[in-house]
């Protein structure tokens, strides 16, 4: 044990230390929550009963560790390590966390792995006798996937003030319920959602651990990697309007069928992305109105997800798709509108923090990711890093997402190493000292 740890181990307060939970064990505790028997995998939308149960589980786990828990006005859960001396409570905090909500039919690890690993990292830091010299908190951000209200990272965007609170309040789910109405039914006062500069200013360094959503660590034969960048990405809603009619009485020549235009558009999206190296463009969600088997749709709504490391390429891809959609709609006797729902520029994590973690975790590859994260939203405001844990399938947003038990524990140990380095480094007097 290093000198710091020995001295501190003797002086460490008799705080409740959980009986050696493992990441695998914690994830097993929530494995039955939000199982989707139709799609497979998990469907844990924000403010659903499943997500509510996950939040209750998390609050119990945090309390079991003696963490001081608070849910802020945006629904972000904060779990603070008790701040006995030598904590300099005025110093910027080290914060780690992720999310509990999922995409429809998602995997078991996207989000919960980072949340469970943070809890186990607390146990490991305690067992090592680490005494933070600066404030330390765990967080859980709501609506990271944007699966219910359509905007990804809604919780961290509200905290950071990067989404207009009126727009957030008016976002609606598939039932037409607004975020304001649903948030109010779940303990938040929608009048007060929005930028929280005090909470943001408390964060000096944010580290998010996440399952890798790709093959980088498989190919590198490493269990843990360090994040370098998050590809810029956005979501656009396209609405194609035609002429609803009877499937049996309407001759083919008389049709203005938005479903046909939508089908042609989905292929155009694929072809446009293929024409731009490393671009990704997806239509994963398509909704005919009214959606009857014997009905020619009057309208088809579909959502485009487009991404690229170069934001200008993302913009070109979307512009080409929009132009192509208008041509297709005209040829099918339809009209089309395109509405941007969210857009995040490519984010490069703090290079000094990235390099610092590379020294703490020698051999960990440095990887960019095509997946969005709350860490990317926060990186515009605080020093931010990510750790990735190997996913042998490389697949995510699917029940096939997977992490080996040993890699899950290696991830938590790596997170504890990173946090220890950040928590015991001397607090300088710079106002926004971050690493
Ligand atoms: O969509 C994403 O990239 C993230 O999983 N929310
Ligand atoms: Mn995800
Ligand atoms: Mn995620």
* CATH code of 284's domain: 3.30.70.360
**Mean pLDDT across the chain, nearest whole number?**
94
Last residue of a domain, one of 327, 344, 361: 344
Mean pLDDT for the stretch of residues 363-377: 97
Give the pLDDT of residue 9.
41
> What is the predicted pLDDT for the residue at 430?
41
Q: Are 225 and 415 in contact (CB under 8 A)?
A: no
Reply yes or no on whether the pLDDT at 14 is more than 80: no
pLDDT digits (tens, 9 = 90+) for 243-262: 999 999 999 999 999 999 99
Q: Are 40 and 129 in a shared domain?
A: yes
Total domains present in the chain: 2
Does the beta carbon of 372 sit less than 6 angstroms from any atom of ligand 1?
yes
Is residue 435 assigned to a domain?
no
Q: Is 215 annotated as a binding residue?
A: no
Q: Is 152 in the pocket of ligand 1 (CB under 6 A)?
A: yes
Q: Are residues 64 and 31 in the same domain?
A: yes
Distances (CA, A) of 81 to 134, 157, 207, 291: 10, 24, 16, 51
Per the domain annotation, does 79 fall within a domain?
yes
Is there a contact between 374 and 153 (Cβ–Cβ < 8 Å)? Answer: yes
Has residue 400 been placed in a domain?
Answer: yes
Listed residues 287, 313, 344: the one ending a domain: 344
pLDDT-derived band of residue 36, with 50, 70 and 90 as boundaries?
very high
144 lines ligand 1 (CB under 6 A): yes
Domain ranges, residue 21: 2-231+346-429
pLDDT given for residue 6 in this prediction: 41
User: 269 with 381, same domain?
Assistant: no
Nearest CA to ligand 1 atom 4: 372
- Structural domain includes residue 434: no
Domain end point (choices 280, 315, 344)? 344
Instruction: Tell me which DSSP letter residue 366 carries.
Output: E
Burial code of 26-47, b = ≥16 C-beta within 10 A, e = fewer? Answer: bbeebeebbebeeeebbbbbbb
Q: Collapse the DSSP code of 418 into the 3-class scheme (helix H, G, I; strand E, B; otherwise coil) and give the result.
A: helix
Neighbours of ion ligand 2 (CB under 5 A): 110
Mean pLDDT of 210-238: 97
Residue 152 lies in a domain: yes
3-state helix, strand, coil in the chain (%, to 5): 35, 25, 40
| Cα–ligand 1 centroid distance for 220 (angstroms) | 23
204 plus 118 within the same structural domain: yes
Residue 212 alpha carbon to ligand 3 centre in Å = 9
For residue 115, how far is its CA from the centre of ligand 3 (angstroms)? 11
Classify burial at 20, counting beta carbons within 10 Å of its beta carbon; exposed 0-12, middle 13-18, buried 19 or more.
Answer: exposed
**Which of the four pLDDT bands, split at 50, 70 and 90, describes residue 427?**
low
- Does residue 298 belong to any structural domain of this protein? yes
Query: Which value, in Å, is the radius of gyration of the alpha carbons in the chain?
Result: 23
Query: Do the domain assignments include residue 140?
Result: yes
User: In a 3-state reduction of DSSP, which class is residue 183?
Assistant: helix
Decide whether any atom of ligand 1 lies within 6 Å of the 371 Cβ: yes
Asked if residue 251 and residue 311 are part of one domain, the reply reads yes
Same domain flag for 370 and 285: no
Say how many Å lie between the CA of residue 103 and the centre of ligand 3: 9
Q: Check whether residue 414 and residue 384 sit in a common domain.
A: yes
For residue 87, the model assigns a pLDDT of 86
Q: Are residues 43 and 59 in the same domain?
A: yes
Share of the chain above pLDDT 70, in %: 94
Kindly state the average pLDDT of the residues 349-361: 97
User: What is the CATH classification number for the domain harbouring 10?
Assistant: 3.40.630.10
- Banded model confidence at residue 425, pLDDT cuts 50, 70, 90: confident
Mean per-residue pLDDT, 219-241: 98
pLDDT digits (tens, 9 = 90+) for 67-97: 999 999 999 999 999 988 888 989 999 999 9
The distance from CA 2 to its chain's CA centroid, rounded to whole angstroms, is: 35
Q: Is the same domain home to 364 and 391?
A: yes
Q: Which long-range contacts (CB under 8 A, 24 or more apart) does 5-10 make?
A: 5/128, 5/129, 5/130, 6/129, 8/129, 8/130, 8/131, 9/128, 9/129, 10/129
Q: Quick one: 59 and 27 in the same domain?
A: yes
- Choice from 46, 233, 341, 371 to test ligand 1 binding pocket (greatest atom count within 8 A of CB): 371
**What are the backbone angles phi and psi of residue 316, rounded to the nearest 5°?**
-65, -45
Residue 426: which pLDDT band, with cuts at 50, 70 and 90?
confident
267 located within any domain: yes
CA distance 143 to 374: 10
Mean pLDDT of the region 22-32: 98
Residues 142 and 214 in one domain: yes
At 433 the pLDDT is: 44
Instruction: For residues 258 and 406, state if they share a domain.
Output: no
Q: Give the pTM.
A: 0.92
């Amino acid at each position: 044990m290093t000198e710091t740890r020995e001295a501190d181990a003797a002086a460490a307060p008799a705080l409740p230390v959980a009986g050696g939970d493992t990441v695998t064990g914690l994830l097993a505790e929530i494995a039955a929550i939000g199982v989707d028997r139709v799609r497979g995998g998990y469907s844990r939308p924000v403010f659903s009963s499943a997500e509510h149960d996950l939040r209750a589980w998390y609050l119990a786990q945090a309390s079991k560790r003696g963490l001081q828990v608070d849910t802020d006005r945006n629904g972000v859960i904060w779990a603070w390590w008790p701040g006995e001396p030598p904590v300099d409570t005025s110093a910027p905090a080290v914060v780690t966390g992720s999310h509990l909500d999922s995409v429809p039919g998602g995997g078991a690890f996207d989000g919960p792995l980072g949340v469970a690993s943070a809890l186990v990292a607390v146990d490991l830091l305690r067992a090592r006798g680490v005494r933070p010299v600066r404030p330390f908190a765990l967080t859980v951000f709501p609506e990271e996937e944007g699966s219910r209200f359509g905007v990804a990272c809604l919780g961290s965007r509200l905290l950071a003030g990067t989404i207009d609170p009126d727009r957030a309040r008016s976002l609606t789910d598939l039932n037409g319920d607004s975020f304001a109405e649903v948030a109010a039914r779940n303990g938040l006062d929608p009048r007060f959602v929005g930028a929280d500069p005090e909470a943001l200013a408390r964060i000096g360094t944010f580290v998010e651990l996440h399952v890798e959503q790709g093959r980088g660590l498989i190919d590198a034969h490493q269990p843990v990697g360090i994040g370098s960048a998050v590809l810029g990405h956005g979501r656009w809603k396209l609405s194609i309007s035609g002429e609803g009619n009877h499937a049996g009485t309407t001759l083919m020549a008389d049709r203005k069928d938005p479903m046909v235009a939508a089908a042609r558009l989905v292929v155009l999206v694929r072809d446009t992305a293929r024409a731009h190296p490393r671009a990704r463009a997806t239509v994963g969600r398509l909704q005919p109105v009214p959606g009857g088997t014997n009905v020619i749709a009057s309208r088809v709504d579909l959502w485009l997800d487009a991404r690229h490391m170069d934001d200008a390429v993302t913009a070109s891809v979307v512009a080409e798709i929009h132009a192509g959609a208008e041509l297709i709609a005209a040829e099918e006797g339809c009209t089309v509108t395109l509405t941007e729902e969210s857009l995040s520029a490519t984010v490069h994590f703090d290079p000094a923090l990235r390099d610092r973690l590379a020294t703490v975790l020698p051999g960990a590859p440095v990887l960019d990711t095509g997946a969005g994260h709350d860490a990317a939203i926060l990186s515009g405001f605080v020093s931010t890093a990510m750790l990735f844990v190997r996913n042998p399938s490389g697949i995510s947003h699917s029940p096939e997402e997977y992490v080996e038990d040993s890699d899950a524990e290696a991830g938590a140990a790596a997170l504890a190493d990173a946090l220890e380095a950040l928590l015991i480094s001397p607090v300088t007097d710079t106002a926004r000292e971050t690493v």
